[in-house]
Structure 1
Amino acid sequence: STPFLKNKRIGIYEHSSAGRDLYKPLFIALGAEVVSLGRSDNFVPIDTEAVSKEDREKARSWAKEFDLDAIFSTDGDGDRPLIADEAGEWLRGDILGLLCSLALDAEAVAIPVSCNSIISSGRFFKHVKLTKIGSPYVIEAFNELSRSYSRIVGFEANGGFLLGSDICINEQNLHALPTRDAVLPAIMLLYKSRNTSISALVNELPTRYTHSDRLQGITTDKSQSLISMGRENLSNLLSYIGLENEGAISTDMTDGMRITLRDGCIVHLRASGNAPELRCYAEANLLNRAQDLVNTT
């Protein structure tokens, strides 16, 4: 049979990724024409959850210059994927995870509570388990899901993807891999978009945007006291973060404080687990509204 990436041009943003020498032969074996991009002998920090302005501009320019169907990259140690569509627009990690899960025909999904709420809306999977943020919590949820479901996956907003059960695809058995895998979501997305474009797949999804940022130099104690303020008196917290006119309809304390506002937008505050910083996530039907919520907060 013809390799499914025949006639596709894939750019690989190699930078200093630990796995950079593995990717080109892999995509060539699947039939793609491959263009190597941005290789560096110095360490390049890539945050897959907050792609830098420079990397966003690079991707758009490469997509145009080399007429690419997609760009594949990873973070520095090669376990979190970063994939751009044919226009060089990087996909958010949770949207990539959603499309990969659909391509794998998953029944049940474990995701952190910070992921886009369209995933847990009930329209895509039999069951979605929301966890605290971090892959150990996603992996822990697999035990519970495996009691009731046989095709199980998990993923994170940073693109990390984990296979929670064996899954049969094209009569081949893909064994469970409960550790982050950057290549599987890329391959499944490219397979799913083989007769269309990546942007067309994204545009078929309900329109819901997420945005996140962090305030550095905020101690865990300071972050926790802010969240405690919200627990005791939510309107005080909303005033403190500049959202006194918004009004809240519900809160979720799975990990930090996730507030659903009157207009359906979401603001989520939590202390980072590995640095002295306060993280803020927002979700809205318009991208600039999600960005404004983060910037205001």
Structure 2
Amino acid sequence: MQSTAINMKQLLPNFTDESVIDDSVLLSPQGFREYDTRWWYGFSGSDRVPEINLAGIKAVGAGLAHLLRQRGNDQAIIVGHDLRSYSFEVKTALVKGLVSGGAHVCDIGLALSPMAYYAQFALNIQSVAMVTASHNENGWTGVKMGCERPYTFGPEDMAELKAIVLEQQAVPATGGQYNFVNNIEKLYASALTKGRFFKRRLKIVVVCGNGTAGLFAPQILRRIGCEVVEVDCAPNWSFPKYNPDPEAAPMQKAMTEAVQLFRADMAFGFDGDGDRCGVADHEGNIIYADRIGLLLAQAFSTQHRDAHFIVDVKSSGLFRTDPVLQANNATVDYWKTGHSYIKRRMGETHALAGFEKSGHVFLNQPLGLGYDDGLATAIAVCEMLAAHPDQTLASLNRQLPQSFATPTLNIFCCDQEKYRIISRIQDYFADLVSSGEMFAGQCVSELLTINGVRVTVDDGTWGLIRASSNKPDLVVVAESPVSLERRNAMLHAINHVLARFEAGQLSDFEGTV
């Protein structure tokens, strides 16, 4: 690995400081989310009003450097960016702010988020700032940050950073440095694939939605012996067909059509920054990520008895009742949705792995380094399937109990209102349970309020209402182990609650499967 010092004037040779950084700072406070930042930055031809400009990005960088210094952290920080047309200029402004605050920037260039997390370990650096808006539409930008590997910022960290930036507390410091680091992608690929070459040759469709993962995923999966068919892997920042979001219908459609067309064993869909992975079986069925997580947990618990797992509140109730996990003495905790929350909870409880319904999978030692990585997830699924030479992914999935679950359903709710509404809904359910009232036609057996409200009734049917962490939305999920009718009864009951608090309505969910 090589590290090359670069003068800051070389970083953007075609621009002066004055033309890159505006004197007027534009920075919407709403961009500071629960565990990262997301702003509408815009692009040429867009008529939507930007929420941040390059001067605002520089202020974020200066604020982050100030925060690191204030906490007594080492000043070294990994920085990378995704392939959006404006991500390089956003990263450059962030770097200038970091350097102005005395930070020692190690720039890994165009990268996936898990590649930046890996670089923290490879270079023995605690802090990271990855410029990406993940699966958000073209025009969004943001930064995923952390100062204690493998964790990323949570609400307290984000509140502290927000105060520093908005109150202009950041103080310039001397000693800032910039270095460009070569070959991290090669080290990352080697670390993922070392010792993994499967005798069962799997034919895999890789769907990337023209996002950053297309530059890395096909080659890495070929290194473990897969025959790879590339679909929408050519990088194109405009996302001409669909957003690279494996939870969204357009990308899922591309996966299901391609896996059947090419007669592949399965299809993987990666999000915009490569930290999530969606899966379709050879029959063209999307297997929700929580069911993939359950299959992986079964495999991991067989290899590592007494394992502990973390799953998010959107995930299947089957984790609680799975006979394989029980036979292997595995334990499962439901926790807050969000990569930062899951990573930290895994560290606190020494969990072997963590799973989110959105497709984030977290592998702790000895399986991984504790962060979410879509490519590591895909390799783990390949390894699981290769260990069952007479099975398909579809047959493994059918061995799990049937359940009737919705995808993640979203209802628009402005950022200024969504948490207040959720708080009122939590109070409503607390009163409902204390008074012994039924919900969705049955008695409530469990009320979980660590992240919104997850209400479970006697037959195991459950529903969730929570605030999205990175979009102006409320999120609803429901599942029944009994029937589609019971699941829909839960959704009807949730709709009544949403109407009660004027929080919008779900529509057309009756046919959702």
TM-score (structure 2 length as normaliser)? 0.50
Question: How far off is 1:164 after superposition?
Answer: 2.1
Q: Which amino acid aligns with 1:160?
A: H
User: Which moves more between the two structures, 137-146 or 13-22?
Assistant: 137-146
1:157 is aligned to 357
2:216 maps to a residue whose letter is: L
Q: What is the deviation of 1:57?
A: 3.2
The equivalent of 2:422 in structure 1 is 223
Q: Deviations over 1:58-102 (max 9, x none)?
A: 333222221111111211111101111111222211122222233
Contact 1:17 1:77 survives alignment (8 Å):
yes
Aligned partner of 1:294 among 491, 494, 509: 491
Check whether the contact 2:271–2:277 (CA below 8 A) recurs between aligned residues.
yes
> For residue 245 of structure 2, what is the aligned residue in structure 1?
47
User: CA distance change for structure 1 residues 11 and 198 in 2, over 3 Å: closer, same or farther?
Assistant: same
CA distance in 1, matches of 2:266, 2:426: 40
Stretch moving more, 123-132 or 191-200: 123-132
1:235 and 1:244 in contact (8 A); partners too: no
Matches within 5 A, 1:84-123: 84-104=280-300, 105-106=303-304, 107-121=307-321, 123=323
Unmatched segments (≥5 aa) in structure 2: 1-194, 496-513
Where is the strand percentage greater, Structure 1 or Structure 2?
1
Which residues of 2 match residues 1-297 of structure 1 at below 5 A? 3-4=197-198, 6-39=200-233, 41=236, 42-43=238-239, 44-48=242-246, 50-52=247-249, 54-104=250-300, 105-106=303-304, 107-121=307-321, 123=323, 124=325, 125-146=329-350, 152-167=352-367, 176-194=368-386, 195=389, 196-211=391-406, 212-217=408-413, 219-220=417-418, 221-234=420-433, 245-285=441-481, 286-287=483-484, 289-290=486-487, 293-294=490-491, 297=495
Q: 1:263 to 1:100 in 2, by over 3 A?
A: closer
Deviates more, 1:37-46 or 1:24-33: 37-46
Judge conservation of contact 2:209–2:243 (CA < 8 Å) in 1: no
CA contact (8 A) 1:56 1:89 kept: no
What's the C-alpha RMSD, in Å, of the aligned pairs? 2.8
Task: Mark the CA change 1:24 to 1:287 in structure 2 (over 3 Å): closer, same or farther.
Answer: farther
**Higher share in helix:** 2
Q: CA 1:63/1:19 → structure 2, altered by over 3 Å: closer, same or farther?
A: closer
What's the CA shift string for 1:101-156, capped at 9, x where partnerless?
3333341111223211111326315221221221222222223333xxxx711121
Amino acid at match of 1:131: W
Q: Name the count of aligned residue pairs.
A: 279
Tell me how far 1:287 sits from its aligned partner.
4.8
The answer (yes or no) to whether the contact 1:264–1:284 under 8 Å persists in 2 is yes
Shift of 1:158: 1.0
**Aligned counterparts of 1:109 and 1:140: Cα–Cα separation in 2:** 13
Secondary structure of the corresponding residue to residue 411 of structure 2: strand
- Counterpart of 1:143 in structure 2: which amino acid? G
Q: 2:226 is matched by which residue type in structure 1? A: A
- Which segment drifts farther, 247-256 or 68-77? 247-256
Contact 2:268–2:278 (CA under 8 A) maintained in structure 1: yes
How far off its partner does 1:2 sit? 11
Confirm or deny: 8 A CA contact 1:97 1:185 kept in the other structure.
Answer: no
Shift of 1:247: 4.4
Q: Give the letter aligned to residue 480 of structure 2.
A: A
SS in 1 for 2:470: coil
Deviation track 1:224-246 (CA, whole Å, cap 9, x = no partner) reads 2222222223599x99xxx6644
Distance 2:440 2:228 in 1: 51
Q: CA deviation at 1:16?
A: 2.1
Question: Distance in 2 between the 1:259 and 1:288 partners?
Answer: 17
Shift of 1:252: 1.9
Structure 1 residues 13 and 283: CA distance shift in structure 2, 3 A: same
What percentage of residue pairs aligned between the two structures are identical?
Answer: 21
In 2, Cα distance between the equivalents of 1:20 and 1:287? 37
**Greater relative contact order structure (CA < 8 Å, 6+ sep):** 1
CA deviations over 1:256-275 (Å, ceiling 9, x no partner):
22111243210111222233
Structure 1 residues 76 and 287: alpha-carbon distance in aligned structure 2, compared to 1, 3 A threshold: farther
What's the CA shift for 1:29? Answer: 2.2
**Distance in 2 (alpha carbons) for counterparts of 1:273 and 1:252:** 18
Q: What secondary structure sits across from 1:4 in the alignment?
A: coil
